[in-house]
Amino acid sequence: MSSDWLSAVAWWFLSFDPFRRKLLHLALVFPSNPAIRRFPLGSWSGSAFIVALLLGAFCLPSANAAENSNISLDTNETLFSVLTAINACGYDEGLDVSDPLRAQVRSEIAKNVADSDDAAGAENELCGYYKEHQSQDPSRQLSQYISLALYLDAPPTFQLKAKDTELPPDATRVLGFVPLLQAFYRKAALHDVWLRHKDHYEELIERFHTPLSQMMFDTGIYLRLTSSGYLGRQFTVYLEPMGAPGQINARVYGADYYIVISPSGSSLKMEQIRHTYLHYLLDPLAMKRPEAMKRLEPLLDQVRLAPIDQSFRDDISLLVTECLIRAIEARTIPGGQAAETRREESVENAVEQGYILTRHFYDSLIKFEKEPVGFRDAFPDFVNNVDVKAEAKRASNIQFVDAATPEVLYLPQARPRSELLANAEKRLSAGDAGGAQKLAQQALEEHQEDPGRAYFILAQVASMTSDMDGARDYFQHALGSSKEPKVLAWSHIYLGRIFDLREERDAAVEQYRAALQAGNTLPEARAAAERGLKMPYEPPVAPQPKPEEE
């Protein structure tokens, strides 16, 4: 029996009692076995007996799930440090409407700098870099530093959590900020300032905890969808008053979703937060159905000229999810029947921007609301019932607007692909080992392409020049820095052959087995690995010239 169905039954039973609804709140918001978070969204109250009874009756998560939530409201000293640093360098956007703490922190940092020549010197270097990399768009100015901060570990080291080649492009643009931040953090005593105002940050969390929990609760109730089953994924809302209150910065990095909010007063931009939360809940549903998404891909031709973000024009799963979210947002506009006109206008607005499946999903939601099934179980029908030809015909009659509303969630774009490695591979195929080596080395130095692929080319060059030690080292570098199955599988195969040539059979077999695992979907690599397991590799014998006949 699905957890969605149980949630639907539980909601029907508890909807008559506000207190019991609050108990269901946590069961819907909190997953069963998520990663531990410092301040989970949700709170318990009421009788422990009733809590135990209800949780037992409906098989919902236990009370200690609140301690292990992967959905959290939190603060972060790294974000504080990065944003405080750019404030010291003249980032003033929204200062007049910010939380009073922002002006107070700026004043304290200014005093620390005035009292220390070392701090003043560190600030000069930091701010010189900041001004050289300033964006004309104030929102992008903040955005690039938030992207960077989310990839940095805790102070004082601020070490990168990923390789610099894996950073989003806007963070890469300001990567040189990090060593300057390390010095400024230490010399201007940012940690002391952070500690002095920790209580204020805790007060912000207390202030916004309830409305955020309520939003997640209402969303879960409408969809009859729990956040359990989202193991290994996180949804984190960070409160950081050192930024401009008018901006919401939402990011998805891998399986983790982040929102950075700079609150002012008692209000938050809840619609934007909910939009990102819906992505967190719904993105996996489309990504787990590649065949269904493949069937819908012809619809991408209908949005080539739409003003929506390029990512939606290129990726059908992203477009499907965004259309679905727009439909949910339209269906849940409050006001009962009186708001129906606003709902219809919201759908039409989304369609005219390029979210062409919003109408289909909106109509599907009307049916869904009348059924007992949870959304996870209903989603396959939402997608499978799309009539591709009919939707394409409907989309062909749409007059797209000139501009779309900016997407709340930042989707990192792929790095611009340079031709260095493609040209290196061509040189290698033509037998120009020196030319291939030069281009692959250049790609490594410029950090613009997959380093594993570059190392793989260098390993092949070394093999061509009979440098077996160099080839082995480069293949091992390729294994340590690539995620591409082809590079991984063939690196293992070539290492296995090198070990066979050195009569190290056990090491060779280990490599061939690793190649089978890495290249399971690559027929040629699989066949080569299987041959290596059956017998040691022997280099092909060059054909001998036939003796001339007398």
Of 81-85, 228-232, 281-285, 442-446, least confident by mean pLDDT is 228-232
Residue 139 domain-assigned?
no
Domain shared by 339 and 435, yes or no: no
Domain end, chosen from 367, 391, 410, is at: 410
Domain shared by 438 and 481, yes or no: yes
Domain shared by 339 and 396, yes or no: yes
**In which domain, by residue range, is 497 found?**
420-534
> What is the strand order of the sheet 234-239 is part of?
71-74, 234-239, 256-261, 248-253, 409-410
Residue 315 domain-assigned?
yes
What pLDDT score does 131 carry? 95
What pLDDT score does 411 carry? 57
What is the C-alpha separation between 83 and 79, in angstroms, rounded?
6
Domain shared by 349 and 447, yes or no: no
- Please state whether the predicted TM-score (pTM) of the whole model is above 0.85: no
pLDDT over threshold 70, residue 12: no
pLDDT band of 53, cuts 50, 70, 90: very low
Domain end, chosen from 386, 410, 434, is at: 410
Domain count, the chain: 2
Average pLDDT over residues 151-171: 89
pLDDT band of 205, cuts 50, 70, 90: very high
Domain shared by 381 and 437, yes or no: no
Question: Which single residue is written with the structure tokens 């929204």?
Answer: 94
Residue 492 domain-assigned?
yes
Domain shared by 360 and 432, yes or no: no
SS (H, E, C) 304-345: CCCCCCHHHHHCHHHHHHHHHHHHHHHHCCCCHHHHHHHHHH
Domain shared by 403 and 495, yes or no: no
CATH number at residue 461: 1.25.40.10
Residue 478 domain-assigned?
yes
Residue 303 domain-assigned?
yes
What is the C-alpha separation between 312 and 350, in angstroms, rounded?
13
Average pLDDT over residues 71-86: 96
Q: Which two tokens stand for residue 242?
A: 């050192």
Q: Which two tokens stand for residue 445?
A: 């130095």
Domain shared by 399 and 307, yes or no: yes
pLDDT over threshold 60, residue 401: yes
Question: Which single residue is written with the structure tokens 């009756």?
Answer: 57
What pLDDT score does 547 carry? 53
Domain shared by 361 and 406, yes or no: yes
pLDDT in tens, 13-39: 444 333 333 333 333 333 333 222 345
Residue 271 domain-assigned?
no
pLDDT over threshold 60, residue 485: yes
pLDDT band of 230, cuts 50, 70, 90: low
What pLDDT score does 24 carry? 35
What pLDDT score does 40 carry? 60
Query: Which of 540, 475, 483 is closest to 508 using CA atoms?
Result: 475
C-alpha distances in Å from residue 303, one per residue of 250, 294, 354, 464, 476: 24, 16, 6, 47, 43
Percentage of the residues of the chain whose pLDDT score is greater than 90 = 59
pLDDT over threshold 90, residue 162: no
Domain shared by 301 and 323, yes or no: yes
Domain shared by 438 and 525, yes or no: yes
Burial of 341 (0-12, 13-18, 19+ CB in 10 A): exposed
Residue 396 domain-assigned?
yes
Average pLDDT, the chain: 83
What is the C-alpha separation between 152 and 174, in angstroms, rounded?
12
Residue 424 domain-assigned?
yes
pLDDT over threshold 90, residue 445: no
What is the C-alpha separation between 462 and 469, in angstroms, rounded?
8
Domain shared by 388 and 467, yes or no: no
